[in-house]
């Protein structure tokens, strides 16, 4: 029952704010943020084939919706509380990847992020670009660690609504909120 309440609250938040949860509240996202700040000789911001890997999370989302139709119920499985060597190795690898790649779980694996990414496209909380102020300098796109070209697609499914693009804009051409911003143009 309590899981259902949290899921409903989570989905209501997502319906209004899109991926704002991912950018500001998600504990897994914060863990990845903190680990990615650790200095390391190699940091990967973008790699070949990344645009295809982002679709993995949509596959996981589809599997989550399909499995119950085949009789799979998560609550019916027992989980061991013992921490195995295999689990330690997997967590170790994940932590190293979190240090090297910015939010890899969010980008490539998170099924909830996939769902909220779709919701990002039509949620009332939106990023809007003032076409009269925007000088197409790409500063917003350069600071976006999710590799979103903000001035072209401000409500892209990968946008975490972190606000870094808004801070980087020299002309303050990016507005965010539920209500209509004081711009003449909603989006490009």
113: in domain: yes
> Does any domain span residue 10?
yes
Number of domains in the chain: 1
User: Which residues have CB under 8 Å from 65's CB, separation 6+?
Assistant: none
Q: Whole domain around residue 102: which residue ranges?
A: 2-69+91-118
Does residue 85 form part of some domain?
no
Measured at the CA of 33, the angle between CA 93 and CA 91, to 5 degrees, comes to 20
pTM assigned to the model? 0.78
Domain presence at residue 49: yes
Q: What is the pLDDT of residues 69-117, one digit of tens each?
A: 777 665 555 556 677 888 889 889 999 999 999 999 999 999 989 988 9
Cα 92 vs. chain centroid, distance in angstroms? 22
Please indicate, yes or no, if residue 57 is contained in any of the structural domains.
yes
Which of 3-7, 50-54, 146-150 is least confident? 3-7
15 part of a folded domain: yes
pLDDT at 185: 46
pLDDT value at position 187? 44
- What tokens were used for 81? 């509380």
User: Per the domain annotation, does 140 fall within a domain?
Assistant: no
Quick one: pLDDT at residue 188? 42
């Amino acid at each position: 029952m309590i899981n259902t309440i949290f899921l409903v609250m989570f989905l209501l938040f997502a319906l209004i704010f899109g991926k704002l949860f991912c950018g500001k509240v998600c504990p897994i996202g914060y863990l990845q943020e903190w680990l990615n700040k650790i200095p390391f000789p190699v940091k990967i911001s973008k790699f070949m084939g990344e645009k295809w890997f982002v679709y993995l999370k949509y596959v996981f989302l589809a599997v989550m919706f399909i499995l119950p139709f085949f009789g799979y119920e998560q609550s019916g499985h027992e989980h061991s509380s013992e921490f195995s060597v295999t689990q330690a190795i997997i967590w170790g690898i994940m932590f190293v990847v979190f240090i090297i790649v910015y939010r890899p779980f969010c980008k490539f694996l998170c099924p909830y992020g996939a769902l909220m990414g779709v919701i990002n496209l039509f949620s009332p909380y939106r990023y809007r670009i003032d076409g009269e102020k925007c000088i197409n300098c790409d500063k917003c796109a350069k600071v976006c660690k999710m590799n979103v070209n903000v001035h072209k697609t401000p409500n892209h499914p990968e946008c975490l609504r972190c606000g870094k693009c808004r801070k980087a804009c020299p002309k303050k051409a990016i507005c965010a909120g539920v209500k209509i911003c004081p711009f003449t143009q909603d989006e490009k």
